[in-house]
A and B are shown apart, each in its own frame.
Chain A
Amino acid sequence: MTTKALGGLLRKEIYHVLRDRRTLAVITLMPIVQVIIFGYAIRTDVDHVRLAIVDPAPDAATLELRSRFGATDTFRVTATLPAAHDLEPLFRRGLVQGAVLIEPGFGDNLGRGLPADVLIVTDATEPNTGSVVQAYVLQVIQAYERERGATSSAVRLVPSVRMRFNPTRESSNLFVPGLMAFVLTIISSLMTAITITREKETGTMETLLVSPLRPWQIIVGKVAPYLAIGFVSVLGVIVEARLVFNVPLRGSLVLLLAEGLLFILVSLSLGILISARTSSQRVAMMGAMVGTMLPTMLLSGFIFPIESMPWPLRAISNTVPARWFVVVARAIMLKGIGLSYLWRETLVLAVMASVLLVLSTRSFRERLE
């Protein structure tokens, strides 16, 4: 009897979801578009630096130095100026990111063994770009200097750099695990919170309650369609990442999906908790946005490094479920490691899931009685 009723509720919910085309379109399109955006747009590499060179008195030595900047792929020399005062407008318009100012008599000084002055100016509006540009320019100058001074006594420290787990630093590799967390949060927490609150707001929750359905069945019925959408979206993200960006899956798919389920459980409980505590869709939306979606985006380490944040934010980030899931998903996909390394994160997620589940069912029941 009640299983049939549950079937009926499920069918009704599925109709609801399918009928609202716009929301459905956004939910399904968002992950797909975001994979593309994150893959191509969210990058921090600095290359093709637009460089200006100020060379008031060109001589053989300065020409040689200048040609070195032209020869590397790192730089694009966009302006060569005779005087420094023309530099400022270029910077202010953002036409150049860095400049090398060579003093007059550079070649002479170099030949006589006097220090030859070079000034590096960077546009440090974006500080990382500023210091990276400085490092690049310095490298070129130092290489030039080494070759000039054959009897060089300069010390060289030659680093060999290994980029572990993601040698080409493909940004899509980093974002796909985070995007999974993001999609699951939106669908499990936000949509769940809104759909249950809507039932309350329109007064139809009362109707459902006097039906033979048990409270848990109502929740299952409301939540199940979104769960299905969430799972499909996640699979879609993985497939797209694989096809378009060649994102690896080095670890076990089963473990990844199991951890995903655990995370869904956490997010769902959060969604139910929010809906139990609020009575209007607007408040539920705000609560879900501020409580789940923004933290997932900002404090999960999905885009921005957590280590760089001040301690209050780092402390808060520990309470964000997505932070743990992102670590797990990344580790499974990129490092191919298993539970022996990830038990800590898994444990945290499991504890969160059980606590939230108890809390949410309790507060849901309280509200009903």
Chain B
Amino acid sequence: MRRILFLARAEVLHIVRDRATLAQVLVLPILQLFVLSNAATFEIRNTPMYVVDFDRTSASRQLVARFDASGHFRIVGQSASLDAADEGLLRGDVTLALIIPHDFESSVVRQRSAGVQLAVNAEKGSAAGIVQSYAMQILNTYAAELGTTFHPSMISVRSGDAEPVPLPGRARIDVQVRHWYNETLDYQHYMVPGLLVALVTMIGTLLSAQNIAREKELGTLEQLNVTPLTRGQFIAAKLLPLWVLGLVDLGIGLVVGRAVFGVPMRGSLLLLLGTAGIYLIVALSIGLWISTLVETQQQAMFVTFFIVNIYLLMSGLFTPIDSMADWVQVVSLVNPVRHFVTIARALLVRGASLQDIQTPFAILAVSAVALLALAIRQYSKRTA
């Protein structure tokens, strides 16, 4: 035990002394959190749109105003020329073009139904579907309001409570909407918990792979092998500081997430840290395993980046698991990152209890034991 502590202290000193590593450990994660939470999202905000209004009536102008006021869209141009809209789409300056036909208002009044055209530049980002659904939502809400202004009876997405008046012979449904767990639909609340997982993953896997690969490259691994230290002690001493470091980083991330992004913390933080402790064993084991495959730091870095990249992209961190192809969903069940992302979001945002997250938790625990055993075996075989 004392030997482990000695080596562990040496490791800590190494990390603290090397400015590059320290930056990698302390500055990069925070930077990552700030940049990623703003960049790596499919939030729809300020999407450039072009309006072709052939109608030029108060109804059409109001519709345009709705789009403008929604915050999802930013009107970059308006004219009565289809060519201009097309040009904008082709040039890529415009993501959505709204075309209002010249009989818009009169159709609304006479036929109570009017057509509009939406042209989405589906080449832009994979968010075209979301752009469309936001546009439809604005149309729907506006239609409902038009209904009430012309006939104060029908569907209303009601905000205040007014005394209902019976209107025999007419069906009407009052719909209220409630967005649970994230009433303001704040995208950061979704991204930050996931990004914390990415942060822990990078620290755990990259540092452990790189760290051991460096000893190999420098030849100091041989030296350690001839000391009375056993392989188990060596691994424990190498991984323990990184394990603590991962938890510290998560702690810092949580504080920043709370203070800067106002991320909710509805569930038990202790449970989150406990899960992180288990998850870090998984991440460190993967790093250890990678270090047995490679000879140099460069390789360690490449292989780690390759594997972590795949893990993160398939984890549901950036895009919902439910949207993925069916076979990807099945494959992602063996992806530990997916489970920790699920748990982190469930705990922080939904306020889940241990019982709610028992399945992903159990999978993580089993992976931790299995991967650690595998990695240690692999490591001992390679260096024996």
Q: Which residues of A contact B (CB under 8 A)?
A: 20, 22-23, 26-27, 29-30, 33-34, 37-38, 40-48, 50, 89, 91-94, 97, 110, 112-132, 134-135, 138-139, 141-142, 144-145, 148-149, 151-167, 169, 171, 173-175, 194, 198, 281-283, 285-286, 290, 298-299, 301, 303-305, 307-310, 313, 327, 330-331, 334-335, 337, 341
A161 and B118 contact, CB distance less than 8 A: yes
Contacts of A27 in B (CB 8 A): 302
**Complexed CA–CA distance, A176 and B376 (Å):** 39
**Complexed CA–CA distance, A118 and B36 (Å):** 38
A124 and B350 contact, CB distance less than 8 A: no
Partner of A37, one of B155, B302, B314: B314
A167 and B122 contact, CB distance less than 8 A: yes
**A–B pairs, 9, beta carbons within 8 Å:** A41-B328, A46-B320, A118-B175, A138-B137, A149-B171, A154-B151, A155-B150, A285-B297, A285-B298
Question: Given contacts A43-B323, A309-B39, A313-B35, could you give 14 more A-B pairs where the C-beta distance is less than 8 Å?
Answer: A38-B313, A42-B313, A45-B129, A94-B346, A110-B172, A112-B166, A115-B164, A115-B173, A116-B172, A127-B185, A154-B147, A155-B112, A174-B125, A304-B39
Contacts of B121 in A (CB 8 A): 164-165
B181 and A282 contact, CB distance less than 8 A: no
Would A42 and B128 be within 8 Å (CB), given that A152-B154, A155-B150, A305-B42 are in contact?
A: no
Ordered nearest first, which 10 A-B pairs have the shortest CB separation?
A148-B171, A124-B179, A166-B122, A127-B185, A124-B182, A305-B125, A163-B122, A149-B171, A153-B151, A40-B325
B168 and A113 contact, CB distance less than 8 A: yes
B59 to chain A, nearest CB (A): 10
B303 and A26 contact, CB distance less than 8 A: yes
A129 to chain B, nearest CB (A): 6
- Residue-wise, chain B 158-194 has the 8 Å CB interface mask toward A (1 for contact) of 0000001011111111111111111101110110000
**Complexed CA–CA distance, A327 and B320 (Å):** 26
Contacts of A308 in B (CB 8 A): 41-47
A155 and B147 contact, CB distance less than 8 A: yes
A116 and B180 contact, CB distance less than 8 A: no
Contacts of A48 in B (CB 8 A): 322
A41 and B129 contact, CB distance less than 8 A: no
Partner of A158, one of B113, B313, B319, B327: B113
By DSSP majority rule, is chain B's interface helix, strand, loop, or mixed? mixed
**Complexed CA–CA distance, A198 and B187 (Å):** 42
B139 and A41 contact, CB distance less than 8 A: no
Q: Counting CB contacts under 8 A, is B4 at the interface?
A: no
A229 to chain B, nearest CB (A): 13
A136 to chain B, nearest CB (A): 8
Contacts of B125 in A (CB 8 A): 174, 301, 303-305
Would A44 and B180 be within 8 Å (CB), given that A159-B136, A298-B36 are in contact?
A: no
A41 and B133 contact, CB distance less than 8 A: no
Which residue of chain A lies nearest to B111 when distances are taken between CB atoms in the complex? A156
Partner of B35, one of A30, A43, A298: A298
Q: Counting CB contacts under 8 A, is B120 at the interface?
A: yes
B61 to chain A, nearest CB (A): 15
Which residue of chain A lies nearest to B98 when distances are taken between CB atoms in the complex? A159
B130 and A44 contact, CB distance less than 8 A: yes
Q: Counting CB contacts under 8 A, is B356 at the interface?
A: yes
Contacts of B356 in A (CB 8 A): 89, 92-93
B302 and A22 contact, CB distance less than 8 A: yes
**Complexed CA–CA distance, A122 and B63 (Å):** 26
- Residue-wise, chain B 292-328 has the 8 Å CB interface mask toward A (1 for contact) of 0111011101110010011001100011101111011
A363 to chain B, nearest CB (A): 21
Q: Counting CB contacts under 8 A, is B220 at the interface?
A: no
Which residue of chain B lies nearest to A50 when distances are taken between CB atoms in the complex? B322
Would A162 and B345 be within 8 Å (CB), given that A135-B133, A303-B318, A313-B38 are in contact?
A: no
Would A23 and B146 be within 8 Å (CB), given that A125-B345, A157-B114 are in contact?
A: no
B314 and A41 contact, CB distance less than 8 A: yes
